[in-house]
Amino acid sequence: MDDLLQILLNGLSVGAVYALFALGYTLVFSVLGVINFAHGAIFTLGAYFTYLLIGGGVGSNGLLAGFQLPVALPFWLALPIAGLLSGAVALGVERVAFRPLRKRNADPLLALITSLGAGVILVNLIQLLMGAESHSIPTGSLGSLPAALSFGGARIRTVQVLLLAVSTVLVGLLTAWIDGTRSGKGLQAVSEDPVTAQLLGINSGQMIQIAFGLSGFLAGIAGGLVGLSVSIAGPYFGIGYGIKGLGVLVLGGLGSVPGAVLGGLIIGLAEALVPSDLSGYKDAVAFGFLFLMLLVRPQGLLGKPLPNKV
């Protein structure tokens, strides 16, 4: 029983990260029908913003070697600010990598490539400024909270409980906003059909910007929390999560917010179910599971089936 609880906690804690990451992908996909490959870079930026805002110094490499902000904010304050800054960067990515193509009615596939380019440029910019070395958010950033918590006979690190809690709250807020507000419904309308939404008086361009801003905010929050949990392993920190997030996005159903959460938790649990002495193969198991699921249900768990076109 303790083993099952431990597996469940392990799976949920990892799955929460994947879900939070995939939500950002989902928001952009829902309005544009294209994957924003710069999302992983914005996730990485969120971690770096958090690190700098709490007073972390840049290492010995990079143009900003030795740089440190004159203020050191508490983690609780630094995290949302990092989220906002990441959201601003995501808006910039929308402005330079997506909007020009959208205005020219270019094939959505091209936006996929420009977003990939934007992501590569961002990652290299981080490397140029901050150097390639790893940076760590100090272990005492959560104040007097204990390093780990016990539930029954199972143990989990406090930072992972925090990740789970923040993911749950953000998903709840996002769902409430999408379903319960005028702007949220506007986003849904744009995701259904941007042209018709525009004819109905909804500013599609503004809705797309909101989706990008929110997506960047979520990526920034996720990056800051994951950076606290496992350190920032250099500018390429977000790549692994980006690949896993794509898997989650597809498993949950492209463009489905609840699907992203469900997909994240399922992949997290699938990884946790891999026997520990085979855990080096957990990626293969997770993606093998994804492969099998898609054979049975190509639209993903909560995605809509593609209509047959005549």
Partner 1 sequence: MAPRRLQRLGPWLALLAAGLGLTACSDPSANQPINLAQGVPVGAVLALTGNANVYGQDQRTGLNLALAAINGSGGINGKPMALRLEDGGSDEPAANAAFTLQINRGVLALVGPTLSQQAFSADPIAQRRGVPVVAPSNTATGIPQIGHFISRVSAQSSVIAPLSIGKALALQPSIKRAAVFFAQDDAYSTAETVIFQKALTAKGLKPVTVQRTQLNDQDFQNQITAALQQKPDLIVLSLQAMDGGNLIRQLRELGYTGMIVVGNGMNTPNIYPICQRYCDGILIAQAYSPELATPANRAFLKAFQANQGGASATPPQLTAQAFTALQVVGEALKRLDAKTPLTTLTVAQARTALMAEILKGQYQTPLGTINFTPEGEVIQKQFFVAQVKMNPDGRAGRFALLP
Instruction: Give contact residues for partner 1 (rule: CB under 8 A).
Output: 3, 6, 10, 13-14, 17, 60-61, 127, 132-136, 138-140, 147-148, 154-158, 160, 226, 229-231, 233-234, 236, 240, 271-272, 274, 276-283
In the bound state with partner 1, the residue whose beta carbon lies nearer, of 172 and 240, is: 240
Taking each helix axis from N to C end, the angle separating 158-180 and 182-192, rounded to the nearest 10 degrees, works out to 80
In the bound state with partner 1, the residue whose beta carbon lies nearer, of 131 and 259, is: 131
Question: How many CA atoms does the CB half-sphere of 247 hold within 13 Å?
Answer: 26
CA–CA distance, 212 with 31 (Å, rounded to integer)? 9
> Do residues 286 and 271 make contact, with C-beta atoms less than 8 angstroms apart?
yes
Q: At 123, phi and psi to the nearest 5?
A: -65, -40
In the bound state with partner 1, the residue whose beta carbon lies nearer, of 102 and 133, is: 133
Residue owning tokens 């990939």 = 116
**Cα dist. 235→141, 216, 239, 308 in Å?**
22, 17, 9, 43
In the bound state with partner 1, the residue whose beta carbon lies nearer, of 134 and 181, is: 134
Residue owning tokens 């609780």 = 76
Residue owning tokens 């906003």 = 177
In the bound state with partner 1, the residue whose beta carbon lies nearer, of 105 and 144, is: 144
Residue owning tokens 């990008």 = 212
Three-class HEC string of 137-181: CCHHHHCCCCCEEEECCEEEEHHHHHHHHHHHHHHHHHHHHHHHC
Least separation in angstroms between CB 276 and partner 1 = 3
In the bound state with partner 1, the residue whose beta carbon lies nearer, of 39 and 135, is: 135
DSSP-assigned states of every residue in 9-37: HHHHHHHHHHHHHHHHHHHHHHHHSS--T
